[in-house]
Amino acid sequence: MRIATWNVNSLRVRLPQLKEWLAASPVDVVGLQELKLTDEDFPRGEIEALGLHATWYGQRTYNGVAILAREALEDVDYGIPGFDDPQRRVIAATVRGVRVVNVYVPNGQAVGSDKYFYKLDWLSRLRNHVAAALGRHERLALVGDFNIAPEDRDVHDPAKWEGSVHVSPEERAALGELMQAGLADTFRLFEQPPGTYSWWDYRMGAFRRNHGLRIDLVLASHALARRCIGCHVDRTPRAWERPSDHAPVVASFDIA
DNA sequence: ATGGCTAACATGGTTAGA
């Protein structure tokens, strides 16, 4: 079973690339972030024409998340229960017995800003929600755009980024709390090429120079992580014309 | 010292991303 995550940065713009990528890289489940469209505008027909099931939670202009899967999606949840967040950033569903929680973590803008404190509060609420979900689901995958580079080796130039949003100690601690609820970073279960990132700025030829961050993750509950047989970043679509600034990340699991 | 690019909304210039 292959579980993927991809921040598409506008599903309207990226739908042709999503189709092309899925045709070349069939996955069982993919969590999408930054749809940037309303629920009415979700391209349901085109997704279903690919033979995929889908559930989505969108809004105008910003944010928006979806889960696509080859098999039926069960027990869909929208948002974080008990958190009346106007920003649509979380969607969850069960596919073939695996609980998939797909998130678009707030950017945080700048350390100390209102958006930064919203990000930290948001992560704390996510942590409580995921801890509860882990109690109900032995096999759980938490996937998405976390907007946090877990370690310095996930940053192309750690000295330049030190203390900035995406790498600040508070953000990394919040991610650590999330992991301590019972999750493993599937990417780090395997030997990986140094300098593997999942996001590159559109500016300054950042992709060409591999100036990136690894901020898109597939986290797995320990029971699921034990079945993980690989995880990689697929840089291919980032090199296409008019790309998303994020690349998809795919984890493979040896489960029936 | 800061922008560089892209997308949405709107239709010129702002907001936001990371």
C-alpha span between A251 and A90 (Å, rounded): 20
How much is the pLDDT for A93? Answer: 98
Interatomic separation, CA of residue A57 and C1' of nucleotide B17, rounded (Å): 19
Near-strand B residues (CB closer than 7 A): A 7, 9-10, 12-13, 34, 36-37, 60-62, 106-107, 109, 115, 145, 147, 165-166, 199, 201-204, 213, 215, 242, 245-246
Mean pLDDT of the A85-98 span: 98
A58 pLDDT higher than 90: yes
- Mean pLDDT (chain A) is 97
pLDDT in tens, A71-85: 999 999 999 999 999
Tell me the three state secondary structure of residue A123.
helix
> Which tokens belong to A19?
């189709």
Q: Higher-confidence residue: A256 or A207? A: A207
Q: Which residue is nearest to nucleotide B18 (CA to C1')?
A: A107
pLDDT band, very low/low/confident/very high, at A27 (cuts 50, 70, 90)? very high
Nucleotides in B strand less than 7 A from protein CB: 3-9, 16-18
**Strand partners of residue A230:** A252
How much is the pLDDT for A54? Answer: 98
**pTM for this prediction:** 0.97
C-alpha span between A43 and A35 (Å, rounded): 10
> What are the DSSP calls for A2-53, one per residue?
EEEEEE-S-HHHHHHHHHHHHHHS--SEEEEE---S-GGGS-HHHHHTTT-E
pLDDT in tens, A204-252: 999 999 999 999 999 999 999 999 999 999 999 999 999 999 999 999 9
How much is the pLDDT for A256? Answer: 78
For A17-55, give one letter per residue: b (16+ CB within 10 A) or e. bbeebbeeeebbbbbbbbbbbeeeebbeeebeeeebbbb
Annotated catalytic residues of A are: 104, 145
Interatomic separation, CA of residue A50 and C1' of nucleotide B6, rounded (Å): 27
Nearest nucleotide to A41, CA against C1' atoms: B8
How much is the pLDDT for A96? Answer: 97
Mean pLDDT of the A59-70 span: 97
Tell me the three state secondary structure of residue A177.
helix
How much is the pLDDT for A5? Answer: 98
